[in-house]
Amino acid sequence: MDFLLLLLASGLVSGAAYGLIAMGFALIFKSTGVVNFAQGELVMLTAYISFTLYSTFDLSFFPLMLVTIPISMAIGLVLERLFIRPMLGEPIFAIVMVTVGLAVVLRGITIMAWGPDPFNFNAGIPTRVVTLGGVPFYPAQLYLIGALGVLTAAGWAFLRFSRMGIAMRAVAANETAALLVGISVSRIHAIAWMLSAAIASIAGVLFAANFKLAPDLWFQGLRAFPAVILGGMDSVIGSAVAGLVIGVIENLFQGYVGQGLREISGFIVIIIVLMVRPFGLFGSKDIERV
């Protein structure tokens, strides 16, 4: 029982990381129809920026995020304006290739600016072990799970009730119709990139606080991608839930079956789910896959 609880807890931690990163993917896809292959690099870049802020100003977690998030949103806006906006009207495939190029550039910039050495980055979160229901956690692990919960709830409320969220759903449903009723589609695209960068920064900081800050952090973007597929490419909330599902399944497989089946297990689940629901657990039936 103790062992099972440990596996479930660790599954929720890694699942929360997947979920947060996947939410960023889904948000951009939902609003723009583009798979942002630079999402992992955005996670990495914003985490390094936060690390510099932390090292310079010695901030605790919440003040640190209060500074990191706006900077990340500004980066998201700049990237959208410089690289994505000029591609409006071009084939989706071309825009996706731009994000691939962007990924390489961001990776290079990060290593150039911060070097290749990995860092310990606790993000102002205490490192003393706490026990909940007999299961030990680092506080950063609880912050990670908590952040996913808060962002999922906030994301649901935003898309469901806010004017901007409804406009975003309208653009996702039918871009031309949204334009005709006076919604600024380009503005929605920019906001999607800003929000996605904000989520990326939270994911990046909390991932680094749990698993060190290193230049291969971008790779977590690829590792989280199955969660986007499983949840549904256009479902922000679905991606978050799917992240948890994959995290828990991976850890249970590793714990009880073992020997490298962690990675395979997530994909087995995806194959099975997609055979039954090709649009993912929470996705729309008519989405265009790229």
Partner 1 sequence: MKNGLLALSAFLLASTASYAADPGVSDTEIKIGDVNIMTGPASFIGRAVSVGSKIAAAEINEAGGVNGRKITIITEDDGYVPARSFQALTKLIEVDEIFALNGTSGTANVLAMMPLIEENNLPTVVTTAPNELVYQPVRPSVFTVGASYSDAFYAQLKYIHENTEPENAVYGLIRQDDDFGGAVEAGYDRAVKEFGVKDGLRIRFKKGTANFAAEVAQMRQAGVNVLANGGIIAGAANILSEARKLSMDLQVASVWSEDMPPSVNLSAPAGYDYLVADYVALSGPAIDAFLEKAKKYASDEEVAAINRYTYVTYVGLKALAEAMGQCGQDLTRACTVEKLRELKDFDTQGISAPLSFDNPEQLSGTAVAVYQLNAAEKTFTALTDFADY
- Residue 6 in the binding site for partner 1 (CB under 8 A): yes
Nearer to partner 1, 266 or 283 (CB): 266
Which of these segments, 4-12, 36-44, 59-67, 175-183, binds partner 1 (CB under 8 A)?
Answer: 4-12
For partner 1, which residue of 94, 105, 129, 132 counts as binding (CB under 8 A)? Answer: 129
For partner 1, which residue of 86, 126, 136, 146 counts as binding (CB under 8 A)? Answer: 136
- Residue 115 in the binding site for partner 1 (CB under 8 A): yes
For partner 1, which residue of 78, 82, 111, 113 counts as binding (CB under 8 A)? Answer: 111
Own/partner contacts of 89-96, CB < 8 Å, gap of 24 or more, are 92/33, 92/34, 92/288, 92/290, 93/290, 95/32, 95/34, 96/34, 96/35, 96/37, 96/290
Which of these segments, 23-31, 134-142, 168-176, 229-237, binds partner 1 (CB under 8 A)?
Answer: 134-142
Own/partner contacts of 57-63, CB < 8 Å, gap of 24 or more, are 58/124, 59/124, 60/124, 61/123, 61/124, 61/125, 61/143, 63/124
Instruction: List, in order, residues 6 or more apart from 79 with CB less than 8 Å away.
Output: 38, 42, 102, 193, 197
Nearer to partner 1, 17 or 151 (CB): 17
Instruction: List, in order, residues 6 or more apart from 284 with CB less than 8 Å away.
Output: 232, 234, 235
Residue 189 is encoded by which pair of tokens? 């695209």
Nearer to partner 1, 99 or 210 (CB): 210
- Give the integer Cα–Cα distance in Å for 228 and 236: 8
- Residue 7 in the binding site for partner 1 (CB under 8 A): yes
- Residue 39 in the binding site for partner 1 (CB under 8 A): no
For the CB of residue 260, give the shortest distance to partner 1 in the complex, in Å: 5
- Residue 62 in the binding site for partner 1 (CB under 8 A): no
Could you give the C-alpha distances from 247 to 66, 227, 255, in angstroms and in order? 28, 9, 12
For partner 1, which residue of 215, 267, 273, 284 counts as binding (CB under 8 A)? Answer: 215
For the CB of residue 285, give the shortest distance to partner 1 in the complex, in Å: 34
251: left (phi over 0), alpha (psi -120 to 50) or beta: alpha
Q: Which of residues 138-197 bind partner 1 (CB under 8 A)?
A: 138
Binding positions for partner 1, rule: CB under 8 A = 3, 6-7, 9-11, 13-14, 17, 111, 115-120, 127, 129, 136-138, 207, 210-212, 214-216, 219-220, 250-251, 254-255, 258-260, 262-263
